[in-house]
A and B are shown apart, each in its own frame.
Chain A
């Protein structure tokens, strides 16, 4: 093999591997990126049971309950339009998890319509807000807060 040929073959192989990696990544991303749902979206158009997704909304005041085992909690996440998704989570609640504030739950929708969370992301400190809740603070959180406070009065 001539020097020039070897160089070409090497470049071709490297390119093929990189393009392959890119295509594979693109394919996997389309299937495996977990999508973010608001409660009303999840109610209207539920994801496949077992598919990893994120659910974000407000923790409904008064809905937080601890089951007799002491470590499993259930609560409801609400959005606009009276949509309400029950959530079950076994674990230690994040430090700033409180009723009436925003939360993002990572997990799967069970067959019975309960969202089983593996992980909860709450507002971490004044600087760290889960990415998905950020945009919400502008148009939706205000509305949502209004609705939730209406219930409280």
Chain B
């Protein structure tokens, strides 16, 4: 029953999306804000509610393990812990598409409910665009990926969930990432709405900014969480593999990062109008491209659930309609969006434009590297593109970007001179050179990690330079947001460079009682025990790890055997200190009774994820600051209007 209600709610929500589209189109044509067009807002809010209900219905059938629902039977198991039953609802193709559509509908409902700053006509056009995009994905869900399909006969038992996904990571990583991915649809719809009604103004940018920031914060958190999850779950000791699916999340992040900076320029200086619109379109296009890559089955990875060519062509068609349509609209309207304000090269805008271009160049590099294997496969040549391509080629654009990132916030808007900030420039240059020399003495090896370390130290200092000579108590919260986010980038960069420069690895085969050293650690294999969990059994290695001869801390990596579905996984163990992590993986038993053990000491590796969290925190501060400013601005306007009205009555 609940499944049928969820299914019906989805059809109703799709109908409301159609109403939104028609209403918005009428508003554009007739120029009326009432009648059907006036229904766009309520329709969007109701649509969000219905999609939310459908999603809860799916959670419910998973929670009670209703085995007459095909999706539950294929992906769940009555013996799974409840948290994994619930998160298993989106650990499959249909469920994850439902999550996608739900987030899209909720975002649409939210802007309809709270966004009052824009002209009503632009707002209706925006909701029409949001409805139009949602409609395509409702069609995809209902026609080719119905999550509520029933089985003719209920199954006796579910097939279970991939054990790699039976982890708290699945509960956190996909929803966060989807809020980011699909949250960018709002930026896309705003851009389309503004193009349709030709109102690309600073007010429009101020309305769009919190939504872009919000989506970007979720995207940042989602990528950070996903990276950490891959790091500890896969047991390979790496945190980023340039896997196509990882790239699919990085590309919208790069575009969104560029967008949130250019939208700031538009909001404060009324420049970069066309560029901002373009980025609004590109950012969500990258989200949809990512969805296509992951959900169509053109790629094989732990992220791709089922290979079904029909679904692939469906998403490809949606992609062509939405991206193609938006780009066509852009081509038609770009020339009619009038020129914004001018600025000098040496100015805040100049630096932001430079970094926007660098981010776009990195995006192009990642995009080409991700699609290249797909292209060559069409000619039956199989290649794989990995770190030897991505690392140096993206670094060529990342290094100048990091340098300008340190300088840009010191420059004034509109026009400035480098002479004015010559002291700061000298400090930045000195820090880079000192950092290079200092770390070269330690490491002296590969160039990229060395540059990374030096640039990270420089940026960590430089990110606080904009605070110099300012009253910290009266500093707007949004400026704190920028400082924290830029500092977060420096912290993450330091972690990445340190991991790649200073990691040590040790492979050893140990008898019980023997020990191995890695970096400052000594690890002793105390015993090997069989253990059992709710749906698995495992061999557990009990070890004592001591740091620089200190007291031994117990660690117990496992090699697990799941039985539904039957699969072996390695459960690595991480021992975290402030200055790094010990990473231990238990391997197989060698022929002579020794046990294989793989150990890493990764100095400062945790900084990667602390940095990611700081970046997201910066985004949150920026949202708070901007919303606060906006409320203040509106209350001043309101008071002014009231006073004028009073004057008139007098």
Count B interface residues, CB 8 Å: 55
- Complex Cα distance, B361 from A130, in Å, reads 30
A95 x B300 contact (CB < 8 A)? no
In the complex, which residues of chain B have a beta carbon less than 8 angstroms from the beta carbon of A130? 300
Contact of B361 among A18, A34, A71, A106 (CB under 8 A): A18
**Residue among B164, B384, B592 facing the most chain A CB atoms (10 A cut-off):** B384
A17 x B357 contact (CB < 8 A)? yes
In the complex, which residues of chain B have a beta carbon less than 8 angstroms from the beta carbon of A24? 365, 393, 396
In the complex, which residues of chain A have a beta carbon less than 8 angstroms from the beta carbon of B162? 125, 127
Contact of A17 among B299, B300, B360 (CB under 8 A): B360
B594 x A29 contact (CB < 8 A)? no
| Stretch from B10-18, B195-203, B461-469, B565-573 forming part of the interface with A | B565-573
B507 x A28 contact (CB < 8 A)? no
B392 x A28 contact (CB < 8 A)? yes
A49 at the interface (CB under 8 A from B): no
B598 x A70 contact (CB < 8 A)? no
B368 at the interface (CB under 8 A from A): yes
In the complex, which residues of chain B have a beta carbon less than 8 angstroms from the beta carbon of A84? none
- Interface members, chain A 120-137 (any B CB < 8 Å): 124-132, 134
Contact of A33 among B389, B509, B585 (CB under 8 A): B389
- Interface members, chain B 347-374 (any A CB < 8 Å): 353, 357-358, 360-362, 364-365, 368-369, 372-373
In the complex, which residues of chain B have a beta carbon less than 8 angstroms from the beta carbon of A106? 384
A29-B396 contact, Cβ under 8 Å, with A20-B361, A66-B591, A92-B588: no
A127-B386 contact, Cβ under 8 Å, with A91-B598, A92-B588: no
B413 at the interface (CB under 8 A from A): no
A interface residue count range (under 10 / 10 to 19 / 20 to 34 / 35 or more): 35 or more
- Complex Cα distance, B392 from A7, in Å, reads 31
B302 at the interface (CB under 8 A from A): yes
B305 at the interface (CB under 8 A from A): yes
B570 x A28 contact (CB < 8 A)? no
- Complex Cα distance, B236 from A119, in Å, reads 9
B339 x A3 contact (CB < 8 A)? yes
In the complex, which residues of chain B have a beta carbon less than 8 angstroms from the beta carbon of A33? 372-373, 376, 383-385, 389
B53 → chain A closest CB, angstroms: 30
B382 at the interface (CB under 8 A from A): yes
- Interface members, chain A 98-130 (any B CB < 8 Å): 106, 119, 124-130
B342 at the interface (CB under 8 A from A): yes
B565 x A125 contact (CB < 8 A)? yes
A18 x B364 contact (CB < 8 A)? yes
- Complex Cα distance, B381 from A139, in Å, reads 16
In the complex, which residues of chain A have a beta carbon less than 8 angstroms from the beta carbon of B236? 119
A57 → chain B closest CB, angstroms: 13
A28-B389 contact, Cβ under 8 Å, with A71-B507, A91-B507: yes
A34-B397 contact, Cβ under 8 Å, with A18-B361, A21-B365, A25-B364: no
- Complex Cα distance, B365 from A22, in Å, reads 7
Provide a sorted-by-A list of 27 A–B residue pairs whose CB atoms are within 8 angstroms: A18-B364, A21-B360, A21-B361, A21-B364, A24-B365, A25-B365, A28-B393, A29-B369, A32-B389, A33-B373, A33-B383, A34-B386, A36-B383, A36-B384, A52-B388, A70-B596, A71-B508, A91-B598, A93-B587, A95-B567, A95-B568, A95-B569, A125-B162, A125-B565, A128-B302, A131-B300, A132-B382
Q: Which residues of A are in contact with B by a Cβ distance under 8 Å?
A: 1, 3-4, 6-7, 10, 13-14, 17-18, 20-22, 24-26, 28-29, 32-36, 52, 54, 66, 69-71, 90-93, 95-96, 106, 119, 124-132, 134
Closest A-B pairs by Cβ, 6 of them: A70-B509, A92-B587, A21-B361, A95-B568, A33-B383, A36-B382
